């Protein structure tokens, strides 16, 4: 069955087609959900909610752009909606802190350690960091998605980089007695 046929079957609420679509894309979307979630269990919830939305709105997919890109936007928005509902972004402090550059020596820092410390960032910093650095959204786009100002987006990114830089420096110097 071609992707177009699979989509058409999903639009007709065909459970077998929906299951096949889930199998095709769940691992990619789960990785994305994990980036925007506090932990594994929350990522699973976000993935499930995203697929409920995907199946509910698949009739709106017109074939313009990739299906995967469309589904990724839904997964990201599903995770972000959880934070908007929880009021994570209600505290707005646009105090601009100096932009921090974050350079990573691949010999000193493993990918697992980097992912772990990104995951541990406070929600508002982690989400802005992921959207800006990992998913290439602009501050203007992030501000709109999170219902914050562009200044807050920039400030949150700078704070995220500062926290990550401090944790990396602590790790390099071996002062890892503090819980990361």
- Comparing 3-85 with 111-173, is the CATH topology the same? no
Q: What is the pLDDT of residues 15-45, one digit of tens each?
A: 999 999 999 999 999 999 988 888 889 999 9
Q: What CATH class does 111-173 carry? A: mainly alpha
Q: What is the 3-state secondary structure (H, E, C) of the chain?
A: CCHHHHHHHHHCCCHHHHHHHHHHHHHHHHHHHHHCCCCHHHHHHHHHHHHHHHHHHHHHCCCCCCHHHHHHHHHHHHHHHHHHHCCCCCCCCCCCCCCCCCCCCCCCCCHHHHHHHHHCCCHHHHHHHHHHHHCCCCHHHHHHHHCCCHHHHHHHHHHHHHHHHHHHHHHHHCCCCCCC
Instruction: Give per-residue pLDDT as tens, 83-142.
Output: 777 665 544 444 545 555 555 555 567 888 888 899 899 988 999 999 999 899 999 999
* Per-residue model confidence (pLDDT) at position 175: 52
Q: How does residue 143 score in pLDDT terms, banded at 50, 70 and 90?
A: very high
Q: What are phi and psi of 56, to 5 degrees?
A: -75, -25
pLDDT at 87: 60
User: What was the pLDDT predicted at 99?
Assistant: 53
pLDDT at position 174 is 73
Give the residue extent of every domain in the chain. 3-85, 111-173
Q: Which long-range contacts (CB under 8 A, 24 or more apart) does 50-57 make?
A: 50/74, 50/75, 50/78, 50/79, 51/22, 51/26, 53/78, 54/21, 55/10, 55/13, 55/18
Residue 112: per-residue pLDDT: 84
Query: What pLDDT shows up at residue 180?
Result: 40
Compute the distance between CA of residue 47 and CA of residue 42 in angstroms, rounded to an integer.
9
Residue 178: pLDDT over 50: no
37-75 residue pLDDT tens: 888 899 999 999 999 999 999 999 988 889 999 999 999
CATH fold of 3-85:
Rna Polymerase Sigma Factor; Chain: A (1.10.1740)
């Amino acid at each position: 069955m071609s992707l177009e046929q699979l989509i058409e079957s999903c639009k007709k609420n065909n459970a077998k087609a929906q299951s096949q679509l889930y199998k095709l894309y769940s691992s990619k979307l789960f990785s994305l959900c994990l980036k925007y979630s506090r932990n594994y269990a929350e990522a699973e919830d976000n993935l499930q909610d995203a697929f409920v939305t995907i199946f509910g709105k698949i009739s709106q997919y017109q074939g313009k752009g990739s299906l995967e890109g469309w589904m990724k936007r839904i997964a990201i928005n599903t995770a972000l909606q959880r934070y908007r509902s929880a009021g994570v972004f209600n505290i707005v402090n646009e105090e601009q802190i100096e932009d921090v550059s974050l350079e990573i020596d691949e010999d000193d820092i493993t990918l697992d350690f980097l992912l772990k410390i990104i995951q541990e960032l406070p929600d508002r910093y982690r989400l802005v960091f992921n959207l800006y650095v990992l998913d290439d959204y602009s501050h203007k786009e992030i501000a709109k998605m999170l219902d914050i100002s562009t200044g807050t987006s920039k400030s949150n990114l700078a704070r995220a980089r500062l926290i990550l830089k401090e944790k990396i420096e602590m790790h390099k110097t071996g002062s890892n007695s503090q819980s990361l």
